[in-house]
Structure 1
Amino acid sequence: MNAPRVDFPIDSVPAAAGSEHIDIAIVGSGFAGLAMAIRLKQSGQHDFAILEKADAVGGTWRDNHYPGCACDVQSHLYSFSFAPNPGWSRMFSTQPEIRAYLEHCADRFGLRPHLRLSHELRRAAWDEAGACWRLEMADGRRLSARVLVSGMGGLSRPAYPRIPGLDSFAGEAFHSQHWNHGYDFRGKRVAVIGTGASAIQFVPQVAPRAGHLDLYQRTPPWIMPKPDRRVTAAERWLFRHLPFTQKLVRTGIYWALESRVLGFVVHPGLMKLVERVARRHIQRQVPDAALRARLTPDYTIGCKRVLISNDYYPALTRANVDVVSTGIARVEPDAIVLADGTRRETDCIIFGTGFHATDPIPRGVILGRDGVDILDAWRDGAQAYLGTTVAGFPNFFMVVGPNTGLGHSSMVFMIESQVAYILDALQRMRAGHVHAVDVRAEVQRDFNDGLQARLGHAVWSAGGCASWYLDPRTGRNTTLWPGFTWQFRRATATFRLADYHTLPQRRSAVRPGEERHAGAAQVQGA
């Protein structure tokens, strides 16, 4: 291949002598981080580390452990294509089973030696002179890496409501991600704030145990029946002994979920057919007309995340549960006061208020060229090229970056697509003796202009609601991919060096063994 054009300074030098240096640093050990690490090992690359802030792997499925926590995508698809699990106990697995699966993958693929637990990234800054990332952990430990891969995910920072007096509350209060399993709900007056994906799972678990439960609902969600069941012993036998049968099930689930894009993006009017199913669901489960009216949304289904549950509505019909739609004015030490002056005594507040999906990275953590904070680069809303690279941040790759989220299918499919793109980037960089790449600003801009044009016609923008998919500052959808997942896979199938500024590799910067790895990469990519 032709030598790449030099597009940013070449006075780079290796990392400072005496400091620990790794070739690739992966942040996070959820599905994204583990997929990246597994594929690196399988491609013959071993000079990498997985930096994990906690003391165990698992990401979202380690941190979220509230009662009833489960996936809303079928297990056979919500798992690695290269690591099928024939032993799933249910069609929709619960949190403990998914976490155990991730732990199993870490062991099966030999990732433990690469894991650095209790390594919380405080700051990662691109060093222009050293042409590497300088990383600082929360405990002061430091290291450098040529390539930085973020697997931090979009649902990792809990969001709390801004309510006057909240700090004065004297009772128990916690976010669903920080569940207090030691708290005894018996006889307690519990307030649940929020009606999102987490709340519809834990409310049915808490309501039978609490003395009384108030559910504070700002906007009701659309809820569909959950087609869940136990996987039979016969099915598990088939999956274990005839693996192609599980692959057929996975393929069937994939295409069934892909069909939802027709309503979400291609023709939002089709969502009226889906809405009929949701209306029948609430009519069957909520006999009281007044309560049913409060629980029925007034926006097009799909505008917000469509939820699935068979036990949420029945929980709200219990005698000890009230659905409160009046806004909250303030919180007092032992009560929540509504906008109409009503005072509701409370012993415990549970926040089911979701996450900072549109700004998952805190300020000061990722600093690119010239010390620019990634949040400043995103002042008009988060954006990336193919959801993976950001202009001004060389050798920085995001898995589950902006506009890679889904409202219809499995994020694991998107993760594997991005990981394949990053692997192709690394292989082409080695083959072309390229040390670093930085996506061209015009390439990123053109890609995102096209993306936003497609999103403008989708149900998430035209459905008549305000959701966490949209950036609150700009109103732009910076979260979701506006199309079929196979289109994203096709878009990320090949890494094009022409889309990037490049920095050639200096002979002094080649580390022992890289020539061998480069050769292996060329053979694999042939």
Structure 2
Amino acid sequence: MSTHHDAVIVGAGFGGMGAAIQLKRNGYDDLLILEREDDLGGTWHVNHYPGLAVDIPSSTYSYSFEPNPYWSRLFAPGAELKKYAVHVADKYDLKRYMRFGTVVSGATWDEDESVWRVSLQGGETVTATYLVTATGFLSQPKMPDIEGIDTFQGKVIHTTAWDDSYDLTGKRAAIIGTGATAVQLIPEVAKQVSDLTVYQRTPIWVSPKSDTGIPKIVQKAFAALPFTQKAVRLTGTSILELLMVAGVLEYKNMSFVGKIAEQACKAHMRRQVRDPEVRRKLTPDYTFGCKRPTFSNTYFPTFNKSHVHLETSSITRIDESGIVTADGHRTDIDVLLLATGFNLWDVNFPAIEIIGKQGRDLGKWWRETRFQAYEGITVPGFPNLLSLNSPYSYSGLSYFTTVECQMKHMDRLLTAAQERGADVFEVKQEANDEFLERMRKKVGVSVFALGQCATANSYYFNQHGEATLLRPTSTIAAHREAARFPLEDYTYA
């Protein structure tokens, strides 16, 4: 097996596969996709907890160049996303590049040879002209730092490592977390257990979910007449874009959009939750958009059930058989379910150690200066690095919007390098600085700067309190810039 490749891609999820497809389009066929899990699909392979489904309309959650006419529902269940990932890998002949069960420990730029040296767990090293990191935004599970959690003698399950063999029937259960994952999980768990306590730190804005099955005749129409599905996709994308741009990014001038969304969510809750005290506890005190909202028709009614309890007092400790809260209340449980999300800012960005020119450590540099990446994909001092999960890269509410925007950037950049006969590219410091300043100014008029976000506990914010995850521009603007950024913003050699 060759140890040098045109490109090494870290991650076999939708980001990594999109990058591989683009590299092939640009004429690179010697690729190596390294994946730590035992199969492809990224988050849709790792996650398989009860109730798992995409939380935006399925029509928008796919590559625009590879639509899936066979989604069974408007919000497809997770198993269908995994199936779609396998379909993409098969159609675009990507599996032959993939190595599973392979953990990347780090990558270093070799300035003498102008290659990336990628170190694998176990001691193996491979080299590549280009390094693409596609490790995802939500790839590092966050474990709660609670006193005594290691002493609990019952079953502990994190949503990213769901144990399908464990029977919840009749069990006394506790769930920590009320984010988007928990909103899907809680109604399903409540159907099985004898008693369920939900420990909430931060409530979430939840709106009605127009989730219906898609009839076979409609699926056939989508397959036979692709433009019909494109029209549905455009409608769904436009609605999401309106929520994102008007309600979040343009908050200074259009704060009323967020207020309308808040009132809609509150009305949805009033229709579904009988107890006014429970409604009060479930109502966020932060501005809509500070934290990712979600959709559900089953989450709120779960709290009407007599065996489901909402606990908002903070957890003091966990012992061998239960949980004790700050008010002294104790709950004995058999199983502890952790819907505590992901750790973006401590162990991600980047997910592996990356050493660039002159020994610059990307993770340390980001934390010591600012989280930054030119157009959300390249970084000065790191030649031939395409970092897909980077600051200011997430565009819109569908991850595929981000992936395809970055594919467009890759196409323009790699084509320019090829036309110049160059093997090495690097974004200029001044171009990066200008982009960073522009993004910071745009964040300044968004809900992240002007809304009441202090109590949101949102992963949108890094440890410095800066909202550097989302790109504060419209999807249209992001795609336009990906196709037209000045080629002179890079050096080529």
TM range (shorter): over 0.9
Once the 2 structures are TM-superposed, how far is the Cα of residue 485 of structure 1 from its aligned partner?
A: 0.6
Give 1:498's aligned residue. 488
Measured against aligned partners, the alpha-carbon deviations of 1:12-51 in whole angstroms (never above 9, x if no partner) come to xxxxxx9721011111111111111122223432121211
Give 1:383's aligned residue. 372
Once the 2 structures are TM-superposed, how far is the Cα of residue 62 of structure 1 from its aligned partner?
A: 0.6
Question: Conserved in 2, the CA contact under 8 Å of 1:121 and 1:365?
Answer: no
Give 2:333's aligned residue. 346
C-alpha distance in 2, partners of 1:497/1:490? 14
1:400 is the counterpart of 2:384: no
Give 1:52's aligned residue. 35
1:422 is the counterpart of 2:417: no
Question: Conserved in 2, the CA contact under 8 Å of 1:437 and 1:501?
Answer: yes
RMSD of the alignment, in Å?
Answer: 1.7
Question: Conserved in 2, the CA contact under 8 Å of 1:366 and 1:374?
Answer: yes
Measured against aligned partners, the alpha-carbon deviations of 1:345-371 in whole angstroms (never above 9, x if no partner) come to 122111111112335246762111222
Once the 2 structures are TM-superposed, how far is the Cα of residue 247 of structure 1 from its aligned partner?
A: 1.3
Once the 2 structures are TM-superposed, how far is the Cα of residue 430 of structure 1 from its aligned partner?
A: 1.3
1:186 is the counterpart of 2:169: yes
Question: Conserved in 1, the CA contact under 8 Å of 2:22 and 2:410?
Answer: no
Measured against aligned partners, the alpha-carbon deviations of 1:257-294 in whole angstroms (never above 9, x if no partner) come to 22221121222232111111111100000011111111
Q: Is the deviation greater in 255-264 or in 410-419?
A: 255-264
Matches within 5 A, 1:91-240: 91-240=74-223
Corresponding residue to 2:285 among 290, 293, 298: 298
Once the 2 structures are TM-superposed, how far is the Cα of residue 400 of structure 1 from its aligned partner?
A: 3.3
Q: Assess, with a 3 A threshold, how the Cα gap between structure 1 residues 382 and 500 changes in structure 2: closer, same or farther.
A: same
C-alpha distance in 2, partners of 1:189/1:118? 35
Q: Assess, with a 3 A threshold, how the Cα gap between structure 1 residues 38 and 362 changes in structure 2: closer, same or farther.
A: closer
C-alpha distance in 2, partners of 1:461/1:215? 31
Gaps of 5+ in 1: 1-17, 505-526
C-alpha distance in 1, partners of 2:154/2:25? 51
Once the 2 structures are TM-superposed, how far is the Cα of residue 325 of structure 1 from its aligned partner?
A: 0.4
Q: How many residues align?
A: 485
C-alpha distance in 1, partners of 2:433/2:69? 43
C-alpha distance in 2, partners of 1:362/1:401? 8
Q: Assess, with a 3 A threshold, how the Cα gap between structure 1 residues 43 and 433 changes in structure 2: closer, same or farther.
A: closer
Amino acid at match of 2:248: F
Runs of 4+ residues deviating >6 angstroms: none
Give 2:452's aligned residue. 464
Give 1:6's aligned residue. none
Question: Conserved in 1, the CA contact under 8 Å of 2:353 and 2:363?
Answer: no
Q: Assess, with a 3 A threshold, how the Cα gap between structure 1 residues 470 and 90 changes in structure 2: closer, same or farther.
A: closer
Question: Conserved in 2, the CA contact under 8 Å of 1:215 and 1:321?
Answer: yes
C-alpha distance in 1, partners of 2:398/2:184? 19
C-alpha distance in 2, partners of 1:100/1:363? 26
Using structure 1 for the length normalisation, give the TM-score: 0.89
Corresponding residue to 1:84 among 62, 67, 78: 67
Amino acid at match of 2:193: A
Q: Is the deviation greater in 219-228 or in 242-251?
A: 242-251
1:450 is the counterpart of 2:432: no
C-alpha distance in 1, partners of 2:192/2:412? 52
Give 1:265's aligned residue. 249
Q: Assess, with a 3 A threshold, how the Cα gap between structure 1 residues 418 and 479 changes in structure 2: closer, same or farther.
A: same
Question: Conserved in 2, the CA contact under 8 Å of 1:169 and 1:332?
Answer: yes
Give 1:256's aligned residue. 239
Q: Is the deviation greater in 285-294 or in 470-479?
A: 470-479
Q: Is the deviation greater in 350-359 or in 87-96?
A: 350-359
Once the 2 structures are TM-superposed, how far is the Cα of residue 394 of structure 1 from its aligned partner?
A: 0.9
* Percent of aligned pairs with the same amino acid: 39
C-alpha distance in 1, partners of 2:57/2:221? 18
Give 2:224's aligned residue. 241
Using structure 2 for the length normalisation, give the TM-score: 0.95
Measured against aligned partners, the alpha-carbon deviations of 1:87-109 in whole angstroms (never above 9, x if no partner) come to 11111111100010010110011
Once the 2 structures are TM-superposed, how far is the Cα of residue 496 of structure 1 from its aligned partner?
A: 3.5
Amino acid at match of 2:183: I
Question: Conserved in 1, the CA contact under 8 Å of 2:26 and 2:415?
Answer: no
Give 1:335's aligned residue. 322
C-alpha distance in 1, partners of 2:353/2:401? 27
C-alpha distance in 2, partners of 1:419/1:363? 20
Once the 2 structures are TM-superposed, how far is the Cα of residue 240 of structure 1 from its aligned partner?
A: 1.2
Once the 2 structures are TM-superposed, how far is the Cα of residue 216 of structure 1 from its aligned partner?
A: 0.5
C-alpha distance in 2, partners of 1:326/1:222? 19
Q: Is the deviation greater in 472-481 or in 364-373?
A: 364-373
Corresponding residue to 1:411 among 390, 394, 399: 399
Aligned to 1:46, the other structure's residue is in SS state coil
Q: Assess, with a 3 A threshold, how the Cα gap between structure 1 residues 172 and 100 changes in structure 2: closer, same or farther.
A: same
Corresponding residue to 1:32 among 9, 12, 15: 15
Aligned to 1:476, the other structure's residue is in SS state coil
Q: Assess, with a 3 A threshold, how the Cα gap between structure 1 residues 461 and 188 changes in structure 2: closer, same or farther.
A: farther
Once the 2 structures are TM-superposed, how far is the Cα of residue 223 of structure 1 from its aligned partner?
A: 0.4
Amino acid at match of 1:274: A
Give 2:474's aligned residue. 484
Aligned to 2:65, the other structure's residue is in SS state coil
